[in-house]
A and B are shown apart, each in its own frame.
Chain A
């Protein structure tokens, strides 16, 4: 199975500041035939199901604010929130969908400082 490792486990950022979450996969999730990274980011607020924010490592889902961005390739990826808002408090997960079983990172708990 592909192991997804996020860092940090927990992050406190001031309102309006940048938040950065890292995700590393135990093997590449870049599919060479289409040059796509099979990597997504989810946001999960307390008591709610996860919400897909970003797929193909950097494609923002419709309706997701542009302060959210994804980058990276191969085995190293980053989710960036450019200017933290109060409503961004949540746990964030990366997920590989390169191969089954699809696997998620352990989550990063994002709070307001």
Chain B
């Protein structure tokens, strides 16, 4: 069965960076893209961007451009989301979600990771 298992909770200081991992199993990793979605405490869902493990292409939300980098390691079927220059309003649960195409982002998320809480606090 498809599983996305994310790394554990993180506490970071303002200005620091965080790297969250998402290990995929139960399918061929390079056959489907990965999107990242975050959710601030008690708030709604915000799409952050997408990466194709097949091509390495990415598409980031404009408001995060310059601070976010998404990468994959196909040898370990793991996707990574790196967020820099952290601010207090980056405190959120970060989710990875599997897309439905290997080359193009479809925006339909049938499988999700369990979420990783990132807390930014001085």
Contact = CB atoms under 8 A, between A and B. Distances in A.
A97 B62 contact: no
A97 B106 contact: yes
Interface residues of B, number: 23
A100 interface: yes
A42 B37 CA distance: 13
Name A's interface SS.
loop
Contacts of A98: 107
A93 B45 contact: yes
B115 interface: yes
Given A100-B59, A100-B61, A101-B61, A52 B45 contact: no
A62 B104 CA distance: 23
B54 interface: no
A52 B110 contact: yes
Given A52-B108, A55-B108, A103 B113 contact: no
A107 B43 CA distance: 9
Interface string B24-53: 000000000001010000001111001000
User: What bracket does the count of chain A residues touching chain B fall in?
Assistant: 20 to 34
Given A49-B95, A49-B115, A103 B47 contact: yes
B114 interface: yes
A97 B61 contact: no
Given A49-B95, A104-B45, A107-B44, A38 B110 contact: no
Nearest to A55: B108
A78 interface: no
Given A49-B112, A52-B110, A97-B108, 20 more contacts: A40-B107, A40-B108, A42-B109, A49-B113, A49-B114, A49-B115, A50-B109, A51-B112, A61-B110, A95-B107, A97-B106, A98-B107, A100-B47, A100-B61, A100-B105, A104-B45, A105-B44, A106-B44, A107-B44, A107-B45
| A-B pairs, 9 with minimum CB distance | A97-B107, A49-B112, A102-B47, A104-B45, A101-B61, A102-B107, A106-B44, A107-B44, A55-B108
